[in-house]
Homo-oligomer: A and B are copies of this chain.
């Protein structure tokens, strides 16, 4: 069962009560004037603490007892570390994996910027402190053993230092087949694989004459056909309810509707990630239902 990521539980003010943020001039980050890539969702200063051993407690900062208890409940390894995985809250893409120590987790909790402990530099490292591509944390999860952490958030830009969206772009089976490692062939779950397939068909349509004929290309080239198919698929989905058809029909018709609607998104240059961002913002603010209600009633 999945559950609802809550809206941030604390305002910057109440976060400060948990863990007083302080600005550190040495590490303070500021956008170049006029820069467009300033993080959209930065709501509080990036906290950076003095480097120390991975096991040290952030002595310079007063810690709320509840946060301290939570930090103590994590099963840090012998070096004081736990695995920390950053995941895109909208797409589910695993962006990167690093390690966190107590300070890194505490900093992430308070600043809501994904922060890690760099083993090579023996210091805290907030993803984005150099590139400005912060990962804005919406929620943090611990696993059943309390030795593995997920930072669930929205990235301000590409996460990988290579400029790729995620750090995972080398497929083992591609490599064994002799394919070159290709940064375009990133780890992708079903919905985004389909989106990419449609996107590649669109590129083939633009570069007229390349690739084989396909249904997607036909749809991409004919708005009237595409629209009539979306109407038709919506009708067939509805029919599975009204005529009490088998639930496997419902799954199949929903798949058809989703595919055809995603072709329309491609024509309009809209990413599924943007659609999910709309949904997330609606139901974390006043609820998607309430919004829909206001619009439709």
Interface residues of A, Cβ cutoff 8 Å to B: 1-6, 8-10, 18, 66-67, 70, 83, 85, 87-94, 96-97, 105, 109, 139-146, 148, 150, 152, 160-162, 164-165, 167-178, 182-197, 199, 201, 214-218, 223, 226-227, 229-232, 234-235, 237-238, 240-242, 247, 250-252, 254-261, 264-265, 267-270, 274-280, 282-283, 287-290, 292-293, 295-297
Contact status B189-A167, CB under 8 Å: no
Contacts of A280 in B (CB 8 A): 190, 193
Residue of B nearest to A188 (CB): B2
Contacts of A292 in B (CB 8 A): 215, 256, 259-260
Determine how many copies of this chain the complex contains.
2
Chief secondary structure at chain A's binding surface? helix
Apart from the given pairs A5-B193, A194-B279, 6 other A-B contacts in the complex at a CB distance below 8 Å: A4-B197, A66-B176, A70-B175, A90-B189, A139-B187, A143-B168
Contacts of A161 in B (CB 8 A): 144
Contact status B186-A293, CB under 8 Å: no
Known contacts A3-B196, A287-B214; A171 and B227 CB within 8 A of each other: no
In the docked arrangement, what's the CA distance between A274 and B255, Å? Answer: 9
Contact status A193-B235, CB under 8 Å: no
In the docked arrangement, what's the CA distance between A178 and B276, Å? Answer: 29
From B89, B214, B237, B258, give the contact of A279 (CB < 8 A): B258
In the docked arrangement, what's the CA distance between A41 and B243, Å? Answer: 32
Contacts of A265 in B (CB 8 A): 250-251, 254
Contacts of A183 in B (CB 8 A): 1
In the docked arrangement, what's the CA distance between A2 and B190, Å? Answer: 10
Contacts of A214 in B (CB 8 A): 287, 289-290, 293
Q: Can you name 18 A-B residue pairings with CB atoms under 8 Å?
A: A1-B183, A2-B186, A18-B176, A88-B189, A90-B190, A105-B172, A141-B172, A144-B164, A189-B276, A191-B276, A193-B283, A234-B257, A250-B265, A250-B270, A251-B277, A254-B261, A254-B278, A255-B278
